[in-house]
A and B are shown apart, each in its own frame.
Chain A
């Protein structure tokens, strides 16, 4: 069981993701440089946040042409688990591994704050687990569960045409939506203007997941939340299961 954290030159959450996977979850984790050609040997692929190539054009627009992304796309085709966080989500959309696009926040300002993301689908490879918090309390995935995690982005406004949104809803591909403290999906809880308050979606096959909130910043009570652990625990369990079932 081995995780890859893809490193684009302008990735800046790569060290955070690496730290959490390696130290919080004791997972064998490696950085994979964007110029490398293959991620075949890994069971889990994480695309971290940052500004991949400076992103002066469009976030993620150039990253999708990098050598490593050809291999990420091929592995995703084969069903391997891919988690894209923030800029990683943007890259997955640009690479057409996820539908839709992330455009500039409606406020035109970068926004960094804690948000609540409501779990819309608890049966995904990324959101089904149960974790124990440092205070001993359990955090168990269920539809409607609110996860408190930070966002930090200038372009997190998810947008897609109506047909795509319909399909996402019909196929339960919308995994996370921004919600208020009571779980209501309202405009006031939407930090960036995303369509239908969408904070995270997965592909039809359910093995590629992109989310704007940063779960790696919510794995330590000192940082104010451990809710991000649920995402990592889920994807690690799923990758392990998948590894066993497809073990050659």
Chain B
């Protein structure tokens, strides 16, 4: 039965291991690896598990701060203090490649994986966000086969996230979705999860205590997801569809049981160490727990619960079957594990023991089938600094026609990247756990954690168009925008998790983008005092057409001091004064106006000024705390005009606005209305409070301007003699119905994918 293939150069290459890396393996082992060991090294030394191409870059992130309880890289997720003995664990992860091949399961298991990362820390997961990127879904005509494919991927991913999150009962309360040609064939699916715990409940993933038994709990191991981590560390090609066995199948019901059972077990005090089996499954969890604790782990594969007979050690060690955990149990407490897992009707097995020789030893009965120094396997992957070549500077804007503003605003509002995402979030249970204080669609999600009496705000942001044109500035802006969104919701930022989505790092231009973005993120995180608590790197995001736009997604978490500070973007009533915090700006480069209306990705994207950005955040928070700001919304894609329109129809009732921008006129309507200069927030205050609000802003050194008043049924903007008027209801209909229109009128609302799979 154990007739294993011989180790040939071809076999080594097929595992994605270079000749130099193979030499390193031989020197670690002091002999030739066997087939199982080769497989183990190939997944542990994949980019997904080892970060071998990104580690030197990731070291540039600020990772410490007074509130950081568990640092990036230390455990499965970072942990941040939120006061009164409470803490939050959060992290973001990608499932891009699986979703490209099998969108429903790819996205579903992405949700499952990140939720496990959070409860592994001892935290109860309370909400998720997601950040998604697809190829264009709008338009018919030319390229419609590609558009149909994009729609199917989009519908499938949304259904998969809904299926998993809804069933497990963790609300999906926000996120972002963009559509751009660069993601065609290689969508991005980044999922964020946050959990809550007491400081003393933080669980560790170390195989501590020599002699402690090692338990396997959760679903049986099958052949699904074989070597998914290695699969995720390659380019997507036409042949990738044949990799479908590398996509795992998720069972959210099992995960729900596993979550409850693990939290119950952690509370019992029987756990010495715990780690989920995510990427690289049993391999990663055994060698990493041993490596962290400086111990060794020995497991017997005969004892591992299996879904099918005849699985080889190679298959068992590399399987990425979902909903499994490895638990190091304090000796003597084995019965507690059995009782709890029997209560929840989950498989469990004592599969091994912690030893002191530093080896990860895999046996089948008495026979040793793999024996590798755990620490070297987990920590000593080769580290590469790739060659980096700057991309050419972006194409200048040149002579840009000043398009009709009257038509440009509705066109921007119905562009799927800007349009309402209600077609998506309506499919997600976003209200379970009775904490969602701000429904999806505002600047940041706001969630009340009842057990802790804390109000959290969270957002995920990245304008990849900026990053494509100027990766460093784009990455800085991603952090600034996240912090700005939190400020608009009334929150003070605490920390960041990131998901770096880039193309093949062996291509010097791609690696340059990665480095520029990381340095931009690092600089901005320092500026906003938000340490990076962990995250994920996803390279090789490319299809035959090329790499995706560099997409360093930033998810930021903040704290709102009291319920009365929770602020949303919609205008609250007629007769309020509308103010702008920040400068009017005139930067059109890299704007959505240029992309959507003129069909170009061009120009130098906006510049970020930290001092002004921070002043604007402080200004809006002060106005909120003093009870002056009734609404707050930042200007992002589509500029001031889109922000104003969104304020008009995001409140409980749609409401018009009368705006006078004469003071900002520079000679071009598009510059006036659609520029994307940073550090700008639109707020509304009661008419009688306008003077006080302006004075307070000025006293804080924040530029502040009167724009006009709310009221009526039209958005009316004037600048000198120029005037543009739009009926708010019509704008709202375009914005609200655009995505549904493309997905349902076209008859490809992903109805087939919307059905849960029969398991």
A residues near B (Cβ < 8 Å) are 9-13, 15-16, 19-20, 33, 35, 49-51, 53-56, 108-113, 150, 152, 154, 214, 216-217, 219-220, 222-224
Contact = CB atoms under 8 A, between A and B. Distances in A.
Given A12-B256, A214-B431, A223 B758 contact: no
B251 interface: yes
A108 B431 contact: no
Nearest to B744: A107
Given A9-B345, A51-B167, A108 B428 contact: no
B434 A220 contact: yes
16 contacts: A9-B256, A10-B167, A12-B167, A12-B256, A12-B432, A19-B450, A51-B252, A54-B254, A54-B759, A55-B253, A56-B756, A108-B751, A110-B428, A214-B431, A217-B434, A222-B563
Contacts of A214: 431
B344 interface: yes
Nearest to B257: A9
A86 to B, nearest CB: 10
A55 to B, nearest CB: 8
B162 A222 contact: no
B434 A112 contact: no
Contacts of A55: 167, 253
A114 to B, nearest CB: 8
A19 B169 CA distance: 15
B759 A56 contact: yes
Contact of B426 (A9, A53, A112, A219): A112
B429 A222 contact: no
Contacts of A49: 432
A217 B431 contact: yes
Which 5 A-B residue pairs are closest in the complex by CB-CB distance? A12-B169, A54-B253, A152-B429, A16-B434, A51-B167
Contacts of B169: 11-13, 50-51
Given A9-B345, A108-B754, A20 B434 contact: yes
Contacts of B168: 12
Contacts of A10: 167, 253, 256-257
B434 A54 contact: no
B758 A222 contact: no
Interface in B160-174: 162, 166-169
Contacts of B429: 110, 112, 152
B427 A53 contact: no
A143 B759 CA distance: 44
Nearest to A224: B439
B256 A109 contact: no
Contacts of A222: 437, 448, 563, 566
B436 A16 contact: no
Interface in B663-712: none
A13 B256 contact: no
Contacts of B756: 56, 154
Contacts of A112: 166, 425-431
Nearest to A149: B431
A51 B253 contact: yes
Given A9-B253, A35-B343, A56-B253, 11 more contacts: A19-B434, A54-B253, A55-B167, A56-B756, A110-B427, A111-B427, A112-B428, A112-B431, A152-B166, A154-B166, A217-B431
Contacts of A152: 166, 429, 431-432
A51 B253 CA distance: 8
B167 A13 contact: no
Contacts of B166: 51, 110, 112, 152, 154
Interface string B739-759: 000000000010100111011
A13 B434 CA distance: 9
B71 interface: no
Nearest to B446: A222
B303 interface: no
B128 to A, nearest CB: 14
Contacts of A111: 426-427
B73 to A, nearest CB: 32
Given A10-B253, A10-B256, A12-B256, A54 B754 contact: no
Contacts, number: 95
Contacts of B331: none
B734 interface: no
A216 B427 contact: no
B729 interface: no
Contacts of B612: none
B449 to A, nearest CB: 12
A222 B448 CA distance: 9
A39 to B, nearest CB: 19
Nearest to B166: A110
B614 interface: no
B433 interface: yes
Contacts of A224: 439
B753 to A, nearest CB: 10
Given A13-B432, A16-B434, A110-B429, A53 B253 contact: yes
Contacts of A223: 431, 434, 436-437
Most buried by A among B425, B431, B436: B431
Nearest to B167: A51
A110 B159 CA distance: 9
Nearest to B752: A108
Most buried by B among A12, A13, A20: A12
Contacts of B749: 109
Contacts of A56: 253, 756, 758-759
Contacts of B251: 54
Nearest to A17: B434
Interface in B332-370: 343-345
A154 B425 CA distance: 14
B754 A216 contact: no
A193 B759 CA distance: 26
Contacts of B257: 9-10
Nearest to B434: A16
B426 A109 contact: yes
A150 B345 CA distance: 32
Nearest to A33: B343
Contacts of B439: 224
Contacts of B260: 9
Contacts of A33: 343
Contacts of A13: 169, 432
A222 B447 CA distance: 10
A35 B547 CA distance: 53
A55 B758 CA distance: 10
Given A9-B344, A9-B345, A16 B433 contact: yes
Interface string B220-247: 0000000000000000000000000000
Nearest to B430: A112
Contacts of B256: 9-10, 12, 51
B573 to A, nearest CB: 16
A80 B254 CA distance: 33
A196 B252 CA distance: 33
Contacts of A108: 751, 754-755
A220 B447 CA distance: 13
Contacts of A220: 434
A193 to B, nearest CB: 14
Contacts of B343: 33, 35
B253 A109 contact: no
Nearest to A105: B754
A150 B427 contact: no
Nearest to B124: A15
A35 B429 CA distance: 27
Contacts of A16: 432-434
A216 B253 contact: no
B393 to A, nearest CB: 45
A9 B257 CA distance: 7
A172 to B, nearest CB: 30
Contacts of B167: 10, 12, 51, 54-55
A160 to B, nearest CB: 23
Nearest to A113: B426
A50 B165 CA distance: 11
